[in-house]
Chains A and B, each alone.
Chain A
Amino acid sequence: MKLGSPVHLRGFATWSGTFLLMGVICLPGIWVMISAIRPTREILARPPIWWPEDPSWANFARIFGLGDTLVGIPVHTYFWNSLVVSLTSTIVALVIGMAGGYAFARYRFRFKNAWFLGLMLFRAVPGIALSLPLFILWSWFGLIDTPLGLILVYVALNVPFTIWLTDGFFRLVPPSLSEAAQMDGCTPWQAFWKIEFPLARPGIAAAGIFAFLTSWNEFALASHLTRSTDSKTLPVGLMDFTAQFTIDWAGMCAMAVIIIVPTLILTFFVQKHLISGLTLGAMKG
């Protein structure tokens, strides 16, 4: 193809547009990452300094308490709390949500549509509106400042969405596949795991990512329900950098990077399961 031909130009325009748009969307993230590797005085400089003049990992060393200062923050503990809470709540939400999605996709029962609508309406309630009732309930049950308390909240937040998403994917898998597997000698359970689960995997993977990200990033509820290193998660931990009169922007940015990186890695690994379209071809051509 000749350079400068209409098709080439259009491709160029598309890519430039995409790049520009992504630049705008990612700007805050990029700014956080840049700020994580430079000192506070550079972050606050007027006029702004666009590119770090002396990039270093000092901020990271500092928040881990390795630097020459004593401003250590229990990042390990927060990270561990976040990991435990997010992974557990994701797995539990997936198991419950998948079972629910399967039931909605395959079985007929009374008030099915009302149930489904109800679940979706729960999603419409702003999470922060729940914080006070939750706080009171959890304090009765002694769940304040425990990982279990957070896990329960996140499971409840994620189950409706997981049901909604997996329901759609299970609907795409024809019921006759499970029946064929049962004729072939499978128990219904085997038929599910060997046939229907692999075919609905893109949906389940997507639901998993969403559930994990929700739990991992959630701040509002966690900030009310946690108070110590026993259960504080990374987003809540970020607030440790605000003191009465100052905010440690550099440390906060370094910690933000620590929060972002695992989600990027997870998304990178799970995305290959998102490839859809496998169900095509089971049926007639």
Chain B
Amino acid sequence: MDVSQYLEIFLDETKEHLQNLNTQILELEADPENMNTINEIFRAAHSLKGMAGTMGYKRMQNLTHDMENVFSEVRNGNIKVQPEMIDVLFRCLDALDEYTNSIQESADEGTNDNEPLIKQLNNILKKVSGEEVQEAAQPAAVSNEPEGSNEKWHDIALDDSQIRVIMEAEKQGKNVYGINVVVQETCILKAARAFLVFKAVEELGEIIISNPSAQDVEDEKFDKDFTLIIISDYSLDEVIKAAGNVSEISNVTGAPLELEKTKNYRPIEVKEETAKPATEAANTAAPAKEDKSVKAAPAKAEKKQTPGKPVVNRTVRVDIEKLDVLMNLVSELIIAKNSLVSATDQEQAGNSGINEHIEYLESVTTSLHESVMKVRMVPIESVVNKFPRMIRDLSKKLDKKMELYMSGEETELDRTVVDEIGDPLMHLLRNSADHGLESAEVRAQRGKPAVGSIFLDAYQDGNNVVIEVRDDGNGIDTEAVKNKAIERGVITPEQAAGMADKDIINLLFLPSFSTAKQVTDVSGRGVGLDVVRSKIESLSGEVEVKSKLGVGSTWTIRLPLTLAIIQTLMVVVGGEKYAISLGSIQTIEDIAPNEIKLVQNKEVIHLRGTVIPLIRLSELLDVESARTEEENLIVVIVKKGDKLAGLVVDDMIGQQEIVIKSLGKYIKQCKFISGATILGDGEVALILDANALL
């Protein structure tokens, strides 16, 4: 079977199963008696094993097999769930994760057998039932004793060409065996097992015929056993052993074939010239099988030619409903285009319905864009799901009791953002676990519950997605940060005296700043927070922190829903067009010149109780404003977090959806220009980054 085409699905599903196992084992740890969890684990481990086996990843299969045995004993009530056992199981999952990554990169599972883990698993089994388990660990018990007259291969009806091939082979001194393979009754993926047996046997010889046929076996159209007749240079024992090594095979029997005993045997004269070469005959006898092994060979060769290269493209699994919507919109788009074409024809005849059609086209393209964006959206679940496990490990490592509470895992973000957000979140969680939460004694003194809480909440807020990491720990000690900053020479003591708490906390985001008194394994190398911030800013997001000493801190990450296409307000400054992201605009105001006040020689306006600094874009962009001093000003109020500023523009064109284009690497000096876009008439307009202006 050519399995390379299934590699992507295999990887996707393996990752899902691994994630599932991680989650379930965590649950099992919390509630060792829960039968549902145990069953779920068993099922996941079993599917994983089956998949690995089908794909021919033996090491992965072996490991999952032994894990499954443990789960099976747990399910049968023979083993009680122990903390040590959970640890071993988690390590197994890590090992499986390694295999998966290796497969993803090079289509090869690597060479790590993970012997110690397998041994530990077997030890768990041994502890309970001694020898009995030994057998369970190797259910593929091999026996080569023929069971009475169980020589089913003699019931196979051979046709002339097959008989000819067998006789030819015997003439050449090759061995012809009949093999009967019995699959365990509990085996779920019988076809996969059979396939592996076929594969193993084919390595040693040539399968002449199978009963049921290879195709039926593959389609699982057999009860619990199947029979093969093979030609081989190897001894019968070797062949039986090869077949028996496949797991979940309960029994393999075999004997040399006695041609005379077969069902419709009649002697055929073997003429040298008519005797087909063995391979050819086998081809006709079992075309399905032969086909596959031929296909498998080049696939294998191909894999070996490109070692080290990632074999899998990143994919997004898409809900079929989303695609349906997309498809409908595309058909609507075609209709809209057609009506536009016919409207233009009518236009020449003096009929004007074109505006109507253009409006229709516009509404369709807008919806089309929205749904394409939705297709790109994936829930952040895939990223945050690994965190409970991480917190559990951290809890052990740091010897602090803590619990992670997550909400809003279903919140969706653009795939590119989701891929990138994992590391920053991990940093923040580790920070909370290591620096945030106090040791048990301090918590007790402060009258806090012994188990520290870390919260991860995600939700959508307008065009943004907000992810909050919150803990009920110590909070940020601004004094300590201040002292550290002075010590490091980041700020002078005089500067420090005048700094608000908020500004001091922001110092944490500077490169190489860590307040942990000791550098630990977990955090404190001072590479954390500045990396977090730069990563999030590279995703056009922002990160903020609020903290109260002794009560806890909240880290808030705000990310745009999507990166490629944004809604903007087009404005004119000095005859040039600029786009401002709608997401950062709060209001647009009409301000009379006499409303402008001066504070510290800077222009501000007083708007509904807030003092807002004014930025005259014409000055910033070095152009002449087209407006006179006396005219009212158009002020676009932009916000970043809780900071506001008023941008003075000459004119507004209106709301427009734009596709963001990079200015290229060549132009990088300009901080507040975040990119460019091409307008409908082909003109290039620049995008003002309001965040950089504040």
A binds B: no
